[in-house]
Amino acid sequence: MNLKFIILLSASIILGSCNTSKKTFTNGEKWIPNDFEPAKTILLIEKFTISQRVEQNMEEYVKGKYPFKYEFVSLETIKNKTGKYSDTKLYRHALVISSHTSHLSQAEGAATSGGLTTTGFDYNFYDQDKQKPYPSTGISNSYIMMTFKPVINTIVKKYK
């Protein structure tokens, strides 16, 4: 039973990842700030430090899809606003990773002893000038690229 579940889960992740390069989210008005102006500012994007390969894929994806200025930086750089990043007019908005962990107990259907814990990755904007986080997309995924690509696509579609 566990092997079937793992095979099914793996297949769905692989098949689902094939379509994300064009996918957009329909709820952009809920998480993209009204005063976000990508043509006039530089978007800071939080680096994904968990995997160098995934981080490289993210950078390559943005390079090929995002027509505005951006920089990948650490969350610490975003929060501390030091050096050139202290110019909150030029570097007003940042796209930061938000994540959540959920636990499915054995009684709820998890086949493993003690249950199953999953982490889902999502994104939200952070306004550096106001020091204000905006709501996340509300569409998280355990594979960050499944959320990251549609986030970038949604922004590009809105402002291109």
Whichever domain contains 103, its CATH number is 3.40.50
* 10 lies in some domain: no
Domain count, the chain: 1
* 6 lies in some domain: no
* 143 lies in some domain: yes
Q: Containing domain of residue 146, as a range?
A: 31-159
pTM: 0.79
Whose tokens are 């976000």? That residue is 36
* 23 lies in some domain: no
The answer to whether 44 and 129 have CB atoms below 8 angstroms apart is: no
**Using one digit for the tens of pLDDT, what is the confidence trace for 26-37?**
999 999 999 999
Q: Is the pLDDT of residue 107 over 60?
A: no
Residues in Cβ contact with 66 at an 8 Å cutoff, skipping those fewer than 6 apart: 43, 152, 155, 156
For 1, counting Cβ atoms within 10 Å of its Cβ (0-12 exposed, 13-18 middle, 19+ buried), the class is exposed
Strand partners, 141: 121
Count of CB atoms within 10 A of residue 45's CB? 22
For 99, counting Cβ atoms within 10 Å of its Cβ (0-12 exposed, 13-18 middle, 19+ buried), the class is middle
- Supply angle C-alpha 149, 151, 157, rounded to 5: 100
pLDDT for res 153: 97
* 24 lies in some domain: no
Q: Is the pLDDT of residue 17 over 70?
A: no
Residues in Cβ contact with 3 at an 8 Å cutoff, skipping those fewer than 6 apart: none
| Lowest-confidence region among 54-58, 81-85, 104-108 | 104-108
